[in-house]
Structure 1
Amino acid sequence: MSSTDDESEALDIFTEPNDFYAPDKPATSSLYTTKQGTEIPLRLVGHNPLWGHLLWNAGRIIARYIEDNAAEVVTHKNVLELGAGAGLPSLICALHGAKKVVVTDYPDADLIENLRYNICHSIDHQYQHAIVAKGYLWGNDVQPLKAELTDPDTGFDVLILADILFNHSEHEKLILTMNQTLGGGIAARALVFFTPYRPWLLEKDLRFFELAKQAGFAVNKLFEHVMDKVMFPEDPGDETLRRTVFAYEVKWPT
């Protein structure tokens, strides 16, 4: 073999095969049907390590809860959603007359662009002025979020946390953000809905509420809702727990 052949073979070692970079998975879609029978189409990112490519059970149930209690919970209110994924609960808030909705997720370009896409394509134009999508890291400066409000000093009337408690290492950051964004009114509340997709870690999920109490919040369990199906049939653990959405409300003490 000549030296030229040697050099060519050596270079080939560092040449990626044609299938080395897997193509991006295409976006998928899901539907949410309101109580009135209106179908809301939602685009989901094709795949994301932050789990934004799924429409989670807690998002569906919190959306229905908002529909059932819109006049009390969101109409004419300022709303902040954390870890929103496709943003379904925020879209429902806008449809039910929220004053301002700030829908957030991790500042990943695909996630935030997808939220903006859903704002533009999932609800009528007349509601779009009330909702804005932003990237936000839990525990970071909240002023860019509050700056979206007419009066930033008042904070948000409603916070939405749907199926994000599985991030156990982030609980303290979430509570810090809650502390700095939840308005001071007696009606101000955080709606925290979750499913223990890993039932053996349920106690770690629930630790969030103990930390909330330690931070000065009052915690009230609203209800449990058992879904018809599990999201991940092949996963281990108690199936009933994996189908159950736990609904909590976190407020300032009265």
Structure 2
Amino acid sequence: MNNSFITVFFFISNHKVGQHIQKDHTKMTSTMVRSDPESDVDTVDVDLFADPEDYYPPTPPPTTQTYTTTKGEIITLHLVGQSPTEAHHLWNGARIMASHFEANPSLVHNRTVLELGAGAGLPAIVAATLGARRVVVTDYPDPDLVETMWRNVRGCALIPGVRGTANGEEDGEDGGPENIVVDGLVWGANSGKVLKHLGEKGKEEGFDVLILADLLFRHTEHGNMLKTVRETMKKSRESKAFVVFTSYRPWLQHKDLKFFDLAREEGFVVEKVLEKKMDKPLFEKDPGDVDILKTVTGWELRWPEEVLHQNGR
């Protein structure tokens, strides 16, 4: 190949010799020169540091789960495909909390309800179907997650004011819910934005019922969860925060339970109110004691008498 050659351009700067690198903040390319019928050389940009197209596995697609009410009605729940907050699962705690409300509808009927770390929002949605006066469904303010929660709300025809559709979109002017809204909330952050959903009077008092379903495995967030409970739970004798969970890592169950030790230290009254053993673990291949993996327990946090007296309750 008499006229074929490869030319590599170099530059010298500050007494350093290096291959000519083009930078555009996120990408580095080298200039390669190949023979060309017209000009003998042709420059081609090659990304030196790009990962192969199939280097990272694709993000899992969204999924759906269903919940059947005691009346045989089916609630379809959409889940994000993947979430660092584990919102892509429908946890057993959510199912048990929803069933507990169905068995005891007076717990939520005509009351204001706030769910933290809701994921699919099942317990909050069931509370809305049972006649809760106002329900606020919250989780980390990720746009996809918030929109998925809205989709579940709008798709549930059992909620007053909703004409549910197959894809969960609003159905015309009357498709919006009357008693339930969705919002993003970071535990421990200012709770004013969710309290505003209660109106002028309600935001000064707080919510009658709080729901924390399968959140305790996040041990470093226990303090932030309790801060949000303190800021949002109405100071009333009837007010309750329901904490329902499974120890999905049985060897760390003692760390899950430290949430209640911390709650007691902060003055809350803590009482265990339910225990349910599922037919099988949510994740059947998980290591550890199978009985613990199958067991869901439910607890109540309430205000102590001294706090109620201070507030004239």
* 3-state SS of 2:31 partner: helix
Distance across 2 between alignment mates of 1:12 and 1:204: 47
- 1:208 partnered with 2:252: no
Q: TM-score, normalised by structure 1?
A: 0.95
| Alignment correspondent of 2:31 | 7
CA positional deviation for 1:224: 1.2
Distance across 2 between alignment mates of 1:24 and 1:165: 26
Distance across 1 between alignment mates of 2:157 and 2:222: 32
Letter in 2 for 1:29: T
* 3-state SS of 2:253 partner: helix
Q: 1:78 aligns with which of 104, 108, 112?
A: 112
CA positional deviation for 1:223: 1.9
Contact 1:91 1:123 in 2 (8 A): no
- 1:62 partnered with 2:87: no
Distance across 2 between alignment mates of 1:117 and 1:22: 27
Q: Structure 2 matches for 1:78-227, cutoff 5 A?
A: 78-124=112-158, 126=161, 128-150=177-199, 151=201, 152-227=203-278
Distance across 1 between alignment mates of 2:84 and 2:96: 23
Distance across 1 between alignment mates of 2:227 and 2:208: 16
Which whole-Å deviations, capped at 9, do the CAs of 1:129-173 have from their partners, x for residues lacking one? 211111100000011011000321110000000000000000011
Distance across 1 between alignment mates of 2:145 and 2:281: 24
Distance across 2 between alignment mates of 1:149 and 1:12: 54
Contact 1:81 1:159 in 2 (8 A): yes
* 3-state SS of 1:237 partner: coil
| Greater relative contact order, per chain length (Cα 8 Å cut-off, separation 6+) | 1
CA positional deviation for 1:10: 7.8
Distance across 2 between alignment mates of 1:143 and 1:253: 23
| Alignment correspondent of 1:240 | 291
- 1:45 partnered with 2:80: yes
More displaced 10-residue stretch of structure 1: 57-66 or 115-124: 115-124
Distance across 2 between alignment mates of 1:7 and 1:184: 69
Letter in 1 for 2:136: V
TM-align CA RMSD: 1.7
Letter in 1 for 2:194: L
Distance across 2 between alignment mates of 1:246 and 1:106: 24
Distance across 2 between alignment mates of 1:130 and 1:23: 38
Letter in 1 for 2:63: T
Q: Name the % identity.
A: 43
Structure 2: segments with no counterpart, 5+ residues: 10-29, 33-43, 163-176, 306-313
Distance across 2 between alignment mates of 1:22 and 1:179: 41
Larger radius of gyration: 2
Contact 1:146 1:181 in 2 (8 A): yes
